[in-house]
Structure 1
Amino acid sequence: MAKGFDCATPLTASTAKAFFQDGYVFVARYLVPNGWKMLSRSEAELISKAGLQIVSVFETTADRALGGRTAGLSDGKTALQTARSIGQPEGSTIYFAVDFDATAAQMSTVIQYIRAASEATPGYSTGVYGSNAVVEAVSKSGACSRFWQTYAWSQGKQSSAANIYQYQNDITLHGIGVDLNRSFGNEGWWNTVDYMMSPEDANKLIAFLGAGYMATGFADAREEFHRLANELRKASNQPEE
């Protein structure tokens, strides 16, 4: 499980570093072509250099998904162009927000929106952000492959399909307003670093090093096992221990 946050405020090098030092692994930012909350290429680079992963979310208005297929194709096209312009690598995920309490009667339209957005973003995985009901309905439809659930409008339920779960909103950390999240794997996050080991692979190797650490009684050997484990953590953008 990884610790993360989302925010509308662009991060600076110092705030990104502060969050990383607090043990945060990822930040979700807005993949939109303009406006004050947009993620820029330069911000993506400084976030990456600070050691954080990026989750991209596309949102213009909260209920944009009610535009159905036409809106999904348009937003997908815009998201694709924006992702390429800021250096988001193919194979990572673009989440499309359903930021309202979608009803059962609206779900078919929401699914049409997500399915169209997915069609319009070739090379990228597609995800949806929304309530438990949205995540459950969209996952069952097969319209996308990644799911970010918010606790809002979810009546205490958490979908087993969720890759990311937003569990608290509207708090202030390091001088900016953020929402708190945790993730469970296959999030589709990214950064601008040319090579990055996955946290899953790094942690498997760290487990082997941990066995060696416990087996040896030599202080120098233990120090070396610890150093190598932290090198693996750095290589996979995880906090050192």
Structure 2
Amino acid sequence: MLSGTVAAAQPGARGFDANTPLSDAQAQAFVQAGYTFCLRYVGRTEMKSTDLSAAEAQRILNAGLALMTVQHVLNPGWNPTQALGQEYGANAAAFTKQIGLPPGVSVWLDLECVADGTAASDVVAYCNAWYDQVAAAGYLPGLYVGYAPGLSGQQLYGKLKFKNYWAAYNVDGVSNPSPRGWQMVQSEGHGTIGGITTQAYDADVIQQDGKGGVPMWLKV
């Protein structure tokens, strides 16, 4: 198990999500640039060399960055089903546990680029099945809402079990899960940091949502 404390994320904290492994020097470079937390990826069916490892997670924490995980999404035009939600949710939890993050930490589902014409009921079934698997493992399920999530803001708020929402940089206003709203807001990366370009990371800011909620992270 990784050393650290599960704690409520601090409103106003600046962080980033990265789709590439971080070295000690790169993690330190983000800290020096003013970032205080990081989100790294886990797989849907397997863990690849570019996904988060236990060793990298410890490097991130040792650098002074808080940590959460997010799961890769399928290629654009994918079709969500309840069965996929169960499978991917179970794996998101298992991989996060395998890395060593303790229960209570936020684990995020990436919902975007759903196939045109997908029934809202299929998206709801997928998301809620994913939620159940992650919650059963003791983690806090969160939902990243990107372009074409397949649900309206009213459906995101009213039909899903999630209470933690993260807005993508390209999300449209129709998809705001009002009245709860966002606990984390993404923007495109701000220049190359530690050799990592804006193609490999995006910036994020924590905020309290409309009901006072925030994500939960692991920090030293």
Per the TM superposition, whether the score is higher than 0.5 is yes
RMSD of equivalent CA atoms: 2.6
Percent of aligned positions that are identical: 26
Partner of residue 79 from structure 1, selected from 92, 95, 114? 92
Partner of residue 163 from structure 1, selected from 156, 179, 183? 183
Partner of residue 67 from structure 2, selected from 37, 54, 58? 54
Residue 80 of structure 2 contacts residue 114 of structure 2 at CA under 8 Å; is this kept in 1? Answer: no
SS of the residue corresponding to residue 50 of structure 2 reads: coil
Give 2:146's aligned residue: 131
Shift of 1:164: 0.9
Q: How does 1:13-92 map to 2 (within 5 A)?
A: 13-32=24-43, 33-63=46-76, 66-92=79-105
> Which whole-Å CA distance do the structure 1 matches of 2:91 and 2:184 have between them?
24
1:143 aligns with 2:161: yes
In the alignment, structure 2 segments of 5+ residues that lack a partner are 1-11, 209-213
> Which whole-Å CA distance do the structure 2 matches of 1:175 and 1:156 have between them?
36
TM-score by length of 2: 0.76
- Greater helix fraction, Structure 1 or Structure 2: 1
> Which whole-Å CA distance do the structure 2 matches of 1:127 and 1:114 have between them?
10
Residue 79 of structure 2 contacts residue 118 of structure 2 at CA under 8 Å; is this kept in 1? Answer: no
Shift of 1:169: 5.2
Give 2:211's aligned residue: none
Shift of 1:67: 2.5
> Which whole-Å CA distance do the structure 2 matches of 1:129 and 1:87 have between them?
22
Shift of 1:156: 9.1
> Which whole-Å CA distance do the structure 2 matches of 1:163 and 1:135 have between them?
18
> Which whole-Å CA distance do the structure 1 matches of 2:193 and 2:57 have between them?
20
Q: How many residues align?
A: 192
Letter in 2 for 1:152: N
Shift of 1:184: 0.8
TM-score by length of 1: 0.70
In the alignment, structure 1 segments of 5+ residues that lack a partner are 194-241
Q: What do residues 149-173 of structure 1 show as CA deviations (whole Å, max 9, x unaligned)?
A: 1131415986552111112258532
Q: What do residues 28-79 of structure 1 show as CA deviations (whole Å, max 9, x unaligned)?
A: 1102241132100011101001010112101141458733210000011111
Q: What do residues 116-135 of structure 1 show as CA deviations (whole Å, max 9, x unaligned)?
A: 01111211111111138658
Deviates more, 1:30-39 or 1:102-111: 102-111
1:10 aligns with 2:32: no
